[in-house]
Structure formats: C-alpha cells, structure tokens
Amino acid sequence: MNLTASYLGLTLKNPIIPGASPLADNLDNVRRLEDAGAPALVLRSLFAEQIEGNQIAVDRHITRWQDTFAEATSFFPRMDEYDFGPDEYLGHIAKVKAATRLPIIASLNGTNLGSWIEYARDIERAGASALELNTFITPTNALAMSSELENRVVEIVAAVRKVVRLPIAVKLSPYYTSVIHFARRLQAERVDGLVLFNRFFQPEIDLDALEVVPRLDLSTSEDLRLRLRWLGLMRDQVDLSLACSGGVHTPDEIVKALFAGANAVQVVSELLTRGPGRFAELLNGLEQWMEEHEYESAGLMVGALSLRSCPDSEAYERGNYLRTLQLWRN
C-alpha cells in the first residue's frame, strides 16, 4: 500500500499533517508526532507584533486593525505573556530540525508589507522547508472594495515570492467573493499551494460584564463540509497543492478530504484534545479504510470525487439545494 503524498513539492510518507498549533512548541510532542507517523509539521504562526516587541506599537496596531487578520489581533496575549517571540520562533525551527527528520512548515502573519518580507527571509534562513502565509482581511471599512482587499493579499504574496525560494502556501478564508478566481490570481504569483481554510476566531459577548471577549472554540466535524465543497470545486480549476484544514477528526473525514481534492489533510483540534498519540490512530484508520476498499495508493483518491470527477456534479452546485430541502422534509 502506497500512502505517499506530494504537497508543496515535498514528498511525504502520508497525507496527514499536524496543522499549526501550540503542540509543536514542545519538542517532546514533536518527537511523539514523528513516532506516530507524522510526515511533516506546521508550526504555529509567527506574528509580526511579536517581532516588533513594542507594546505601545502593538496596542496602536490592535486598535487600528481590530479583528482584521487570521488569528485575530484582539485575541493576542500581551507581549509579556507570550513566551514565543521572534528569536525563540526562529531558534525553534532549528531545534525541531535537529530533533527530527520532519519537513518543517513555518507560518507567518505580518502587519505590513515590510514585515512580511523581512520575516519570510528570516524563516528561510532558519531552515524551514516551506512557508505558510496566514492571511485574513475582514472588510470592516464600508469604503473599501472587495478588489482592494484581494489586491492587498496579492501584493503581500508577490513580494514574499520575490525574496524567498521556499515553497509557499497561502492560508485562505472562505469569505472572498469568488474564491476560485482569487486562487488563480495567487497561482499567477507562483505560490505552490493553498490551505482551505483558516479559522477566524469570532468574538463573544459576556452578558454579565457587558463586554466583547475572546473565545476559542475548536473545530467540529460539521466544519468539514465547507472545506469539502471548495476542495471539490477548486481541485480541477487550479494547478496547486491543496490542503484541507478544519473539521477533520476521524479517518473517514481524512478520506473525504482526499476524495474532494486535498493533497494533504491538516489535523489540529483532534490532536489538541486527544494528544499526539491520536495521530497513529488516524493513520491506521486511513490504512484500514484503503485496505477494505482496495485502494493501493492514496494518490489515486485525490480528487476522485471533485466537481469534474463526481458522478453527480450537482452535489457541488445550486441544483442540489432543492433536493436537499426535499430530503429534509421527507
């Protein structure tokens, strides 16, 4: 049985990747994930605010860009509480590379064009195998057109591509007006892959304190459906590596993501709640499914039920809406 996967130009021994999370901060966890069969590892994001290290500047930035970027600024801990600054982050890349044989995918979330460029260079010098650009822009300004927001991301990606030779993946949100068209714009800037999708931490309202407060809810299996839809629609319309991120908790859900079109499947919440040892169970479950259904290669599964390959293409399109409602009524 061949579980080999190709993602961002990297040859991986299987398609399941521990996604960006604090698990990778601890070298013992990293070793446990490698022992459990992880083929690569995504580090959690390095935020430019950490690098700037100036609390006044950070506070000013947070005020200006409240709820703008992927792991929203309103949920940052104070700088004196965040124990993983820029030097530590870059040093951690080297430590992980020394402790394991895993390809290391670093993750970056900048604040301005200069920070994206500078820190991408630093990450490449530190020895990362690939770079995930974690971008998210919320259209809070009524005067900003959707094209302006897209252009800002394209500008960032193009600038980073010019200064690093690393494989680059862009972690997208699902909220662009035309996700596939935007993906093709990024492809034109020579990115190597896309991660579908980042999870924007939503605010909560504390009715006792009458305050807007941060709240982090881990993903559930229901979150996977959005990813499956866009993986299936995008697989045959872009020539990029695609990773599924969000809503994957079981071996069956890994299989679904592959069939929809994912080259790699990132798992985070399941590992956070059940520990690094869960990775081996997921991998064994994938192998068992393939054996039971007589699939010799994981590569043959990728995109086998994408829009173009699906026997019922309406399942991805509007035509299936009325059918779904009818099934609910019945």
Residue-wise pLDDT tens digits, 56-66:
444 444 444 44
Give the confidence band of 85 by pLDDT, cuts at 50, 70, 90.
confident
Give the confidence band of 72 by pLDDT, cuts at 50, 70, 90.
very low
pLDDT at residue 62 in the model = 41
pLDDT at residue 130 in the model = 98
256-291 pLDDT, tens digit each: 999 999 999 999 999 999 999 999 999 999 999 999
pLDDT at residue 79 in the model = 44
- Please tell me the distance from the alpha carbon of residue 156 to that of residue 170, in angstroms, as a whole number: 10
pLDDT at residue 82 in the model = 47
- Please tell me the distance from the alpha carbon of residue 1 to that of residue 270, in angstroms, as a whole number: 25
- The backbone region for 160, taken as left when phi is positive above 0, alpha when psi lies in -120 to 50, beta otherwise, is alpha
Is pLDDT above 60 for 81? no
pLDDT at residue 194 in the model = 98
Distances 120 to 58, 159, 171 between C-alpha atoms, Å: 20, 10, 15
Instruction: Tell me what the mean pLDDT of segment 16-23 comes to.
Output: 95
Which pTM value belongs to this model?
0.87
Instruction: Sketch out the chain's domains with CATH numbers.
Output: 5-329 (3.20.20.70)
Residues 6+ apart with CB under 8 A from 268: 18, 19, 20, 21, 218, 219, 245, 246
Is pLDDT above 90 for 117? yes
pLDDT at residue 247 in the model = 97
More confident residue, 193 or 66: 193
Is pLDDT above 60 for 330? no
Least confident span in 166-175, 271-280, 293-302, 321-330: 321-330
- Please tell me the distance from the alpha carbon of residue 110 to that of residue 152, in angstroms, as a whole number: 12
Instruction: Tell me what the mean pLDDT of segment 79-97 comes to.
Output: 78
Is pLDDT above 90 for 316? no
Within the chain, what is the greatest distance between any pair of CA atoms?
60
More confident residue, 215 or 165: 165
168-191 pLDDT, tens digit each: 999 999 988 899 999 999 999 999
- Please tell me the distance from the alpha carbon of residue 132 to that of residue 166, in angstroms, as a whole number: 10
The chain-wide mean pLDDT, for the chain, equals 87
